[in-house]
Structure 1
Amino acid sequence: MNEQRIEVDGKIGPIDSSRIPRYAGAATFARLPRLDQVSQADIAVVGVPFDSGVSYRPGARFGANHVREASRLLRPYNPAQQLSPFELAQVADAGDMAVNPFNINEAIEEIQQNALDLTAPDANGRGAKLLTLGGDHTIALPLLRAAAQRAGEPVAMLHFDAHLDTWDTYFGAEYTHGTPFRRAVEEGILDTEAISHVGTRGPLYGKKDLEDDRRFGFGIVTSADVFRQGVDEVVAKLRDRIGSRPLYISIDIDVLDPAHAPGTGTPEAGGITSRELLEILRGMRGMNLVGADVVEVAPAYDHAEITGVAASHVAYDLVTLLADGVSREQDLHTPSAGDSQ
C-alpha cells in the first residue's frame, strides 16, 4: 500500500485518513510511522507483550496490539490540550520488545536494556522518550530502572491503579505484577518524597499493606477521593507533591471502573471514570515527564473495544504531554535571533 502521510515541519505524522481509510493497512499506534521509517524519534511508542507475572487472569501479552488497533481513530489535534503532538515532536511506533515469556528475571533484564537502547542519546545528546504499552505491571520495574538511569537520579512517580502493587512476594517470587513498586523503593530508583498511588480501592490482605505504603513514602489518592474531592483538587495536590522533579507515570488500566475497562486481569468495582483519568493526566501538563506506561489491557475480556479505546486515548494524552515537554526542551536549546553567532 502506498502510504500517504501527514508531514509538518519535517516531522512524519500519521497516515492521511482522507486518502486511506482508518480501517485499512497495518496498525501502528495512531497510524504513526514505524521507527525504521524516521531518521530520529523524539518519542517512541513500544509494546511489551509479556504477562508471565500475573496472579489472576492472563492475556495482557496481547494488550499492546489491541491498543494499537483501537487507536486507529485518533486524530492529529488534541483539543483538550490545544496541541498537535505529532507536529511538536517526531513520534514513532517502535514495535514490540521480544522478551523471554518463561523466565521473569531474564525478561526484566531484557526490558531494561531495550528501554535504555531506545532512549540512548544521539550525537547531539538527545534521546527519545518512551511510552510503553503492556503487558502486565511487572514491566514497570525495568522501565523505572531505565528512566532513573537516564534521568541520573531517582524519579517521581504517579501510579494509577486499583491496587498498591507494593506487596513483597507471591509464592516466594519477588518479581510479579503485584510487587514492582516495592522493589523500586528498595532499589532507590524512586524519589520517595514524590510518589503517589491514584485510584486505589478494593479489599486488601490486611492493614499492614497500607502501613507499608506509608513507610515507603507513598501518598494515596483513592478512587473515592477523586469522586469526593474532584479532579481539580486532586491535580493540585499531585502537582504540589511532584514539583519540578523528573516524573514517570505508570497506568494500570484497572484504575478505571470495570464499566470503563472490562478487559483487564484484576478488575475491582468502584473505579474512576475514563473522563476523570484523562482530566487528571491533562492536569499534569508542564510537569517534567520523562516516561510513561499503560499496562494490563487483556483483550480476551474486552467487548466492543471498550478497554482498548480507553487505553488508546490515555496513551494519546500521555504522548501529548511528552510532546509538549519535548517542544519546551527544544525551545530552551534553540538560539534566538538576537543571540551572537
Structure 2
Amino acid sequence: MSLKNGKMTLSTKFMGSCENYGDANVVMVGVPMDFTCSFRPGTRFGPQKIREVSIGIEEYSIYMDKSLEDYAYFDSGDLDLPFGNVEKSLELIGQSAKEILEDGKLPLFIGGEHLISVPVIKEVYNKYGDDLIVIHFDAHADLREEYLGCANSHASAIRRLVDFMPGKNIYQFGIRSGTKEEFEYAKVNTNMYTIEVLEPLKKVVDKFKGKPVYFTLDIDVVDPAYANGTGTPEPGGISSKELIQALEVLKDLNIVGFDIVEVSPHYDQSDRTAVLAAKVIRDMIMIMG
C-alpha cells in the first residue's frame, strides 16, 4: 500500500520502479498464469503479492553492496491473459519478451507457473543463438515430454526448451524430484546437478563468463520450511540463505534475462515466500544492471 493524497491506495508496482519505460534498462512483467499446475493452483496471484511485500525490504542490499536507487527498472504490470487458453497466453508472453528485447532492454518476468519461462527464453535464444546459457534452479526436473497428455505443462517447461536450443546449454541445479525417465534424459541431454545448488554452481560458473546467461528460478528449489508458498512443495531443499549466496556467485555473469516462478501466496500466511522472492528480484536487478 502507498499513501497518496491522504488515502491508502493499492500499489501495483515493485518498489522503486521508474515512471518511464524508456528510462529503464530492466523491464519487469507479471504473468498471472497457472493453467497447467499439476497439484495446487494459485501462482497467478504471485506477481501482485511479490510487489505488495516488496515495500517491506530495503532498497540497499548488503549482499551486493548496492542500492536499487542507482538502477532504472520499469514495472509494466501484469499481462492480461485469456484465462485457460494456454497457447494464446504463451504467444502473448513471447510477444511481450520480444518487444522488450527489440527495445534493447532486459526482461524480468514474474510468474505464475514455470511454463511461462518457455516463450521468454525462446525469444532470448532467438536474439543470442547457441551462445545462450540457461541456468535453472528448481526442485523438479521439468523434463517430461508431456504430462497427462499435455506437452505444454509446467512439468515439461525445461523439456520444451530443448525443442529449440541445445540441451547441453542448460544447467540444472537443486533437482530432487522427477521420474526415472527424466533423470535418464538429463544424463544425455542437459547438465543436471541434483539436490545441491551452491557448491556445484561454484565449480562450473567460470564456464559461463563472457556468455549471455538466462536464469530461471522456481521458488520450490528452496525447502518448504523457508518457502512454503508454492503449489508443489518438495522437502529436502536448500535454505533461503543458500539461495541468496548462489546469487552472489552469479553476480559477475552477463545475465540477459531472468524469471522467478511458482510463488503461490495463498499457502503462506506469513508471506515469507513472497518476501524471499522480492529480495531475490531486488538483487537480480542489481546483477542485471
* Superposition TM-score, scaled by structure 2 size: 0.92
Q: 1:32 is matched by which residue type in structure 2? A: S
Residues 233-289 of structure 1, C-alpha deviations (whole Å, 9 max, x = no match): 333223134232210110111111001111100001111011101110111111110
CA distance in structure 2 between the partners assigned to 1:58 and 1:193 by the alignment = 31
**2:179 corresponds to 1:205:** yes
3-state secondary structure, aligned to 2:109: strand
The one of 28, 35, 54 aligned to 1:52? 35
**2:6 corresponds to 1:29:** no
**2:249 corresponds to 1:276:** no
CA distance in structure 2 between the partners assigned to 1:120 and 1:52 by the alignment = 28
**2:56 corresponds to 1:73:** yes
CA distance in structure 1 between the partners assigned to 2:231 and 2:204 by the alignment = 27
Residues 39-60 of structure 1, C-alpha deviations (whole Å, 9 max, x = no match): 4311111100011021110000
CA contact (8 A) 1:77 1:83 kept: yes
3-state secondary structure, aligned to 2:187: helix
Unmatched tracts of structure 2, length 5 or more: none
CA distance in structure 1 between the partners assigned to 2:114 and 2:227 by the alignment = 16
3-state secondary structure, aligned to 2:250: coil
The one of 200, 208, 212 aligned to 1:246? 212
**2:67 corresponds to 1:84:** yes
1:171: Cα distance to partner?
Answer: 1.7
CA contact (8 A) 1:134 1:296 kept: yes
Residues 162-195 of structure 1, C-alpha deviations (whole Å, 9 max, x = no match): 000111101211101011211111212xx43432
CA distance in structure 1 between the partners assigned to 2:76 and 2:179 by the alignment = 39
Q: Which residue of 2 aligns with 1:132?
A: 109
**2:268 corresponds to 1:302:** yes
**2:232 corresponds to 1:266:** yes
CA distance in structure 1 between the partners assigned to 2:105 and 2:85 by the alignment = 28
Q: Which residue of 1 aligns with 2:132?
A: 155
CA distance in structure 1 between the partners assigned to 2:52 and 2:100 by the alignment = 23
3-state secondary structure, aligned to 1:304: coil
Q: 1:308 is matched by which residue type in structure 2? A: A
CA distance in structure 2 between the partners assigned to 1:102 and 1:154 by the alignment = 34
Mark the CA change 1:263 to 1:2 in structure 2 (over 3 Å): closer, same or farther.
Answer: closer
1:95: Cα distance to partner?
Answer: 0.6
Q: Runs ≥4 in structure 1, deviation > 3 angstroms?
A: 1-4, 191-194
CA distance in structure 2 between the partners assigned to 1:194 and 1:281 by the alignment = 19
The one of 92, 100, 111 aligned to 2:82? 100
3-state secondary structure, aligned to 1:138: helix
Q: 2:50 is matched by which residue type in structure 1? A: V
CA distance in structure 2 between the partners assigned to 1:156 and 1:317 by the alignment = 20
Mean CA deviation greater in 283-292 or 193-202: 193-202
1:293: Cα distance to partner?
Answer: 0.4
Q: 2:149 is matched by which residue type in structure 1? A: G
Q: Which residue of 2 aligns with 1:218?
A: 191
Unmatched tracts of structure 1, length 5 or more: 5-19, 122-126, 324-341
CA contact (8 A) 2:16 2:68 kept: no
> Number of residues paired by the alignment?
288
Residues 119-154 of structure 1, C-alpha deviations (whole Å, 9 max, x = no match): 323xxxxx1111111000010100101111232445
CA distance in structure 1 between the partners assigned to 2:56 and 2:113 by the alignment = 25
Please tell me the root mean square deviation across aligned C-alpha atoms, in Å: 2.2
CA distance in structure 2 between the partners assigned to 1:298 and 1:59 by the alignment = 5
3-state secondary structure, aligned to 2:75: strand
1:115: Cα distance to partner?
Answer: 1.0
Mark the CA change 1:2 to 1:300 in structure 2 (over 3 Å): closer, same or farther.
Answer: closer
CA contact (8 A) 2:90 2:116 kept: yes
Q: Which residue of 2 aligns with 1:330?
A: none
**2:170 corresponds to 1:195:** yes
3-state secondary structure, aligned to 1:98: coil
CA contact (8 A) 1:42 1:128 kept: yes
CA distance in structure 2 between the partners assigned to 1:99 and 1:218 by the alignment = 33
Mean CA deviation greater in 98-107 or 149-158: 149-158
Q: 1:217 is matched by which residue type in structure 2? A: T
